[in-house]
């Protein structure tokens, strides 16, 4: 960790030293580029030398802290009391900030947030198949451990709510929303999702209207961040925004990174938005082009989202995905293993031998604390289906031409891809 040197005696915050520390970064940031953690990430790159804060460049200082740490990777680890001081300063000064500074400061604080929210996939193990839903939980510092407040991991969902220090940031954004560029829209709404802040009705209305007016100018990254945030926060406007995201992203699939494809597909599944077979085929083609660079979680959540939306990936894509699963140097965690097995069980497909061998090797190296209760129940359910209830791949159910799908409505594979 790097000591940013703003702590006063007795654990208090020395505001003068904070001003000095932030001011020492202000006007000197060059070429910083970073991505947020968790389910997605905002970003900022290029030079930063605009001082709009009257002596202490809060945005510039925050961006500097998000830059590479002393070890050359990741970002500086900032003590919690320092982050709280930054939050207080931003809340007090946001009204004087320009649109870029508002969005950039919120993005940086969200990126530096030491306890990111984890958006879990929850399962109801009932009936003939598994119904999926999304829940949001505060991720503890270590999987399977106590959370520090007497509760255990997974006890109680942390749903989006208003975060007090972001309320003035939200108000400042509304006042300048007409001046936002695509990166500003993306950074701010992603930060709200990362910090689990559910914005007020006025912000939602103003943001949605302004963002939709500029959506054609969004890059694949800013489209992905926006879709992810709307889904993660379960904003009512998702029913309006996601169809437009789908249209514009279809024109940019060639530039999509794996994480962006996964974020968008996750958002579609989270909101039960069916983009249609043509769009899904286009997303699969884009994923196929970069499947050899997918990380374990990206592979898992891509397949999960497709299966949740009732689309069966093509045999060619599954073959390529299995090759990547077997050879990927990064490790598969318990959630990735069990969730991928759920995909196979749900689709009525048998995992390839090399995939099972890889998963077996991963599981042998795990300990009890690596597994959440959900991982265990999901893994056992999937194993039971795959071993004792083998099924042939279900037939494709075609679109009837009038928006209604033909076939057995109980079949989980609706609108299969070929």
Q: Which residues are 152's β-sheet partners?
A: 146
Chain segment 336-371, per-residue pLDDT in tens: 999 999 999 999 899 999 999 999 999 999 999 999
Band of pLDDT at residue 181, cut at 50, 70 and 90:
very high
Chain segment 270-289, per-residue pLDDT in tens: 999 999 999 999 999 999 99
How many other CB atoms are there within 10 angstroms of residue 395's CB atom?
11
Between CA 284 and CA 291, with CA 286 as vertex, the angle to 5 degrees is 85
What sign for the dihedral angle of Cα 85, 86, 89, 92?
A: negative
Residue 292 pLDDT > 80: yes
CA distance 162 to 192: 9
Average of per-residue pLDDT across 401-405: 38
Question: Percent of the chain beyond pLDDT 70?
Answer: 63
Please state the length of the chain. 418
Residue 313 pLDDT > 60: yes
Asked whether 386 and 370 are in contact (CB, 8 A), the reply is no
DSSP-derived pairing of the beta strands 43-44 and 131-138? unpaired
For 143-152, 247-256, 391-400, which range has the lowest pLDDT when averaged over its residues?
143-152
Average of per-residue pLDDT across 361-389: 90
Residue 33 pLDDT > 80: no
* Of 292, 215, 303, 219, the residue nearest 260 (C-alpha): 219
- Radius of gyration of the chain measured on its C-alpha atoms: 23
> Quick one: pLDDT at residue 276?
96
* Of 386, 411, 381, 390, the residue nearest 123 (C-alpha): 381
Q: Where are the domains of the chain?
A: 9-112, 117-388
Chain segment 105-142, per-residue pLDDT in tens: 999 899 887 654 444 444 444 444 444 444 433 333 33
> Quick one: pLDDT at residue 332?
96
The mean pLDDT value of the chain amounts to 75
For 32-36, 179-183, 338-342, 343-347, which range has the lowest pLDDT when averaged over its residues?
32-36
Contacts of 202 (CB under 8 A, 6+ apart): 174
Q: What is this structure's pTM?
A: 0.74
Q: State the DSSP H helix or E strand holding residue 88, giving kind and residue range, or none if neither.
A: helix 80-93
Burial of 35 (0-12, 13-18, 19+ CB in 10 A): middle
Residue 192 pLDDT > 70: yes
Chain segment 162-177, per-residue pLDDT in tens: 899 999 999 999 999 9
Residue 41 pLDDT > 70: no
> Quick one: pLDDT at residue 302?
97
Residue 86 pLDDT > 60: yes
CA distance 83 to 165: 12
Band of pLDDT at residue 64, cut at 50, 70 and 90:
low
Question: Is the pLDDT higher at 260 or at 21?
Answer: 260
Burial of 321 (0-12, 13-18, 19+ CB in 10 A): buried
Average of per-residue pLDDT across 73-96: 80
Chain segment 208-265, per-residue pLDDT in tens: 999 999 999 999 999 999 999 999 999 999 999 999 999 999 999 999 999 999 999 9
User: In sequence order, what DSSP letters do the residues of 144-165 get, joined into one string?
Assistant: TSB-SSS-BTTSS----B--GG
Question: What are the CA-CA distances from residue 292 to residues 88, 101, 288, 326, 327 (Å)?
Answer: 44, 37, 8, 11, 9
> Quick one: pLDDT at residue 85?
86
CA distance 66 to 74: 8
> Quick one: pLDDT at residue 80?
80
> Quick one: pLDDT at residue 77?
67
């Amino acid at each position: 960790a790097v000591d940013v040197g703003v702590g006063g005696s007795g654990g208090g915050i020395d505001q003068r030293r904070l001003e000095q520390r932030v001011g020492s970064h202000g006007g000197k940031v060059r070429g910083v580029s970073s991505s947020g953690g968790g389910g997605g990430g905002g970003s900022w790159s290029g030079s930063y030398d605009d001082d709009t804060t009257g002596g202490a460049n809060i945005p510039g200082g925050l961006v500097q802290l998000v830059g590479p740490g002393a070890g050359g990777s990741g970002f500086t680890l900032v003590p919690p009391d320092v982050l709280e001081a930054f939050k207080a300063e931003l809340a007090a000064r946001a009204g004087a900030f320009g649109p870029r500074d508002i969005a950039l400061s919120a993005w940086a604080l969200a990126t530096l947030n030491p306890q990111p929210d984890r958006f879990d996939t929850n399962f109801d193990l009932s009936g003939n198949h598994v119904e999926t839903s999304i829940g949001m939980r505060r991720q503890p510092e270590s999987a399977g451990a106590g959370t520090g407040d007497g509760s255990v991991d997974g006890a109680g969902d942390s749903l989006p709510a208003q975060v007090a220090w972001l309320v003035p940031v939200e108000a400042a954004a509304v006042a300048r929303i007409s001046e936002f560029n695509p990166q500003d829209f993306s950074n701010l709404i992603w930060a709200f999702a990362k910090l689990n802040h559910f914005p007020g009705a006025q912000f939602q209305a103003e943001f949605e209207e302004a963002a939709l007016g500029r959506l054609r100018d969004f890059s694949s990254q800013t489209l992905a961040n926006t879709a992810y945030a709307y889904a993660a926060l379960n904003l009512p406007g998702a029913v309006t925004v996601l169809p437009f995201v789908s249209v514009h992203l279809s024109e940019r699939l060639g530039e999509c990174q794996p994480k962006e494809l996964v974020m968008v597909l996750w958002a579609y599944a989270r909101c039960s938005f069916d983009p249609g077979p043509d769009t899904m085929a286009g997303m699969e083609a884009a994923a196929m082009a970069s499947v050899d660079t997918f990380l374990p979680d990206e592979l898992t959540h891509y397949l999960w989202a497709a299966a949740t939306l009732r689309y069966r990936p093509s045999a060619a894509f599954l073959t390529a995905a299995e090759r990547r699963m077997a050879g990927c140097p990064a490790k598969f965690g318990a959630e990735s293993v069990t969730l991928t097995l759920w995909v196979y069980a749900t689709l009525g497909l048998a995992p390839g031998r090399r995939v099972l061998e890889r998963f077996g090797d991963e599981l042998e190296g795990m300990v009890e604390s690596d597994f959440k209760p959900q991982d265990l129940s999901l893994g056992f359910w999937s194993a039971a289906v795959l071993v004792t209830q083998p099924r042939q791949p279900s037939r494709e159910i075609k679109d009837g031409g009038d928006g209604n799908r033909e076939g057995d409505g109980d079949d989980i594979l609706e609108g299969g891809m070929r």
